[in-house]
Amino acid sequence: MEFKADALVLRATDWGEYDKIVTLFTAERGKLSAALKGVKRAGAKLKFAAQPFCFAEYVLVEKAGRRTVISASMHDGFYALREDICCFYAAAVIAEACDKLLYEGMVSPELFLSAVRGLEELSALAEGSETPLEDGKSGSSYVLLKFLLKALKEAGYPVTAGNCPHCGEPLSGRMRFDMASGVFGCEACGGGVPASESTYLAIRAAYGEGGEATADGVKRALRLLSAYFSYQASELPALEEYLRT
Ligand SMILES: [Zn+2]
């Protein structure tokens, strides 16, 4: 059986002397792996289709449960990402988060779109063609924060940054974040790990619910999401790496 799929390369592994196995995130079929034969040979036509972050229309053949890519036409290779180390690491977080969140058979066109949009934004930042915004919203970390919040929501682990769920009061100053429910609450009502107001405000800003996103707040929010992601799904080594750069 032959089929076409718009897909993003999440991961590529060497296979034998000349082949690669790619993990593709497709809009309509979720995550799947496929072989790319001979792509490690010099001058191989499909070399681009095994590159990380490649966004292309793939043509695959499925035989006895094994898939092979027979052709591909590129939508975007996001090559500009290679010019900026922060944007490149941030893109690696997007790919890794999708890989970790997508279980067998999970189809999410919304997550697919968010991932492509996130890579586009990072690419534009790396090229320097993006207009810088004020405060913490200008960098790759804000793109990443917006993406991770969306990805966690799509996977069923939404983060809620509204009023305190216990007393209903608006939150300010010192507060808490409950890892089990993903909800911010006040310090007095208890439950969860300590969280700062700047973290909470950065997350509200990323949701478009007002709130100021300082550069420090965005970094703190990413650290909190790293812990939350580990708690709910799995560790994200690429995010740890990104936060160290
Ligand atoms: Zn409360």
Alpha carbon of 184 to ligand 1 centroid (Å): 9
By the CB criterion, residues less than 5 angstroms from ion ligand 1 are 164, 166-167, 186, 189
| Ligand 1 geometric centre to CA of 217 (Å) | 22
- Cα of 165 vs centre of ligand 1, distance in Å, is 7
pLDDT at 24: 97
Q: What is the mean pLDDT of residues 154-177?
A: 96
DSSP string, 149-161: HHHHHHTT---B-
CA of 178 to the centre of ligand 1 (A): 12
Q: Strands, DSSP E only, in the chain?
A: 2-15, 19-26, 30-36, 55-63, 66-76, 175-178, 183-186, 193-195
CA of 149 from ligand 1 middle (Å) equals 23
Structure confidence at residue 104 (pLDDT): 81
Mean of the pLDDT values across residues 182-199? 94
Domain stop point among 76, 95, 127: 76
- The answer, yes or no, to whether residue 92 has pLDDT greater than 80, is yes
Same domain, yes or no, for 104 and 191? yes
The average pLDDT across 88-111 equals: 95
Structural domain boundaries enclosing 32: 2-76
CA of 168 to the centre of ligand 1 (A): 6
* 57-68 per-position pLDDT tens digit: 999 999 998 999
8, β-bridge pairs: 25, 55
**pLDDT range class, residue 130, cuts 50, 70, 90:** low
Say if residue 121 is in the same domain as residue 100.
Answer: yes
What's the CA-to-centroid distance between 37 and ligand 1, angstroms? 58
List pLDDT tens digits, range 71-85.
999 999 999 999 999
Query: Given a cut of 70, is residue 135 above it in pLDDT?
Result: no
pLDDT, tens digit (0-9, with 9 covering 90-100), for 2-60 = 999 999 999 999 999 999 999 999 999 999 999 999 999 999 999 999 999 999 999 99
Distance (Å) from CA 203 to ligand 1 centroid: 19
pLDDT reported for residue 214: 92
Q: Is residue 81 part of a domain?
A: no
Cα separation of 79 and 125, whole Å? 12
Task: Give the whole-number percent of the chain exceeding pLDDT 70.
Answer: 97
Domain match, 66 and 90 both = no
Looking at the fold, whether 93 and 198 belong to one and the same domain comes out as yes
Q: Residue 132's pLDDT band (boundaries 50, 70, 90)? A: low
